[in-house]
Amino acid sequence: MKPDLMVELAGLKLSNPILTASGTFGFGLEYEPYVNLRELGAVVIKSVTLNPRQGNPPPRVTETPAGMLNSVGLQNPGLAAVSEYYVPELKRRKVKVFASVAGETIEEYGRVAYSLAEAGVDAIEVNVSCPNVAAGGLAFGSDPDTTAAVTARVRAAVGNLPVFIKLGVMGGDVVEIAGAAAAAGASGFSLINTLPGLAIDVRARRPVLGNITGGLSGPAIKPVALWAVWRVYKELRLPIIGMGGITCVQDVIEFLLCGATAVAVGTGNFINPGLTVELINGLERALAAEGISGVSELVGAAHVER
């Protein structure tokens, strides 16, 4: 008998635990030459803002040892284009769609989330790494109170739709911030966002990226991501989408064992555009080889009582 890859995230049933990380897979349609989108557990689309954004000046991406830095700056066509074109196109293909939402104010988060929910997305991921313009530019996710306020606004806007808060590990304690989000109505979490980083061009004697700093992703951050997933799962036992350096089936299993119910592939998509489907097939083979009946057997299994 084949292993059961189905997972349930806050009541939402997915055919398998392999998702795409927001910002690394466009709006899904761009990857159709390489991936049958219907095979994925879900497509998490690029973060959407109320108005179109041009993003940061180039260069925007550079390779680093065991990873990459990006400073794209949330470039996207804006809420209207995404809700009127991209979401309907994905739903027409019978793809589960998670919409990543971003904003400069709490009210913007609510407006964007409401419109995307109305457009028919299956879940909302809240990118709280954005600067809060009403609070001097600090990221919403760096403080429990602001994270809770954004979470509550999005929850009110989307009713019972699953809401996942995407957190990093910079600023406040990730468990405290996740707890505040949970109390405000979060269904679960996406862990982790990129880490801040810098690359220098020694010949030019200046930073490589046009925006100077960027977000570090890829295998270099996997141990940090596993640590965050482990801690949040241990304390809150809510659904977690784990991400950070997933490039092979072993990586997927490590995140599941630490407490993730699903995983999102990010930088790996740039290395191998067909990686997500390869991981689905590889995970099925790995479970079968070990005599494991389903993914649910692995979730949190590394947590043992001392």
| Residues taking part in catalysis | 130
Please name which of 141, 126, 150 lies closest in space to residue 176, comparing C-alpha atoms: 141
Q: Residues, the chain, total? A: 306
b/e burial code for range 122-136 (CB count within 10 A of at least 16 → b): bbbbbbbbbebeeee
Question: Per the structure block, which two tokens stand in for 78?
Answer: 């804006």
What residues pair up with 64 in beta bridges, in sequence order?
67
Whether the ω angle into residue 59 lies within 30 degrees of 0, i.e. cis, is: yes
Strands 206-207 and 213-217 turn out to be unpaired
SS3 for 30-59, per residue? HHCCCCCHHHCCEEECCCECCCCECCCCCC
In eight-state DSSP terms, residue 53 is B
Q: Which position has the token pair 């997500």?
A: 276
Q: Which position has the token pair 């398998």?
A: 16
Q: How far apart are CA 300 and CA 47, in angstroms?
A: 29
Helix (H) or strand (E) holding 44: strand 43-44
Contact 91, 116 (CB under 8 A): no
What 3-state DSSP class applies to 294?
A: strand
